[in-house]
Amino acid sequence: MTATLFTELRISLNQLAHEQGVSLSTCWRWCLRGIRGHVLESFSLGGRKFTTREAFARWLARTNGERVVAGQTPRQRERAIDAAERRAEQLGV
Q: Is 40 within a domain?
A: yes
For residue 11, give its domain range. Answer: 2-68
Q: Is 76 within a domain?
A: no
Q: Is 89 within a domain?
A: no
Q: Is 17 within a domain?
A: yes
What pLDDT score was predicted for residue 3? 65
Q: Is 87 within a domain?
A: no
Q: Is 44 within a domain?
A: yes
Mean pLDDT, residues 53-67:
88
- Give the residue with greater pLDDT, 25 vs 88: 25
d(Cα 25, Cα 34) in Å, to the nearest integer? 12
The answer to whether 49 and 39 have CB atoms below 8 angstroms apart is no
Tens of pLDDT, residue by residue over 23-52, are 999 999 999 999 989 999 999 989 999 999
Query: Within 13 Å of residue 27, how many CA atoms lie on the same side as its CB?
Result: 23
Q: Is 93 within a domain?
A: no
Query: Within 13 Å of residue 87, how many CA atoms lie on the same side as its CB?
Result: 6
What pLDDT score was predicted for residue 7? 79
Total domains present in the chain: 1
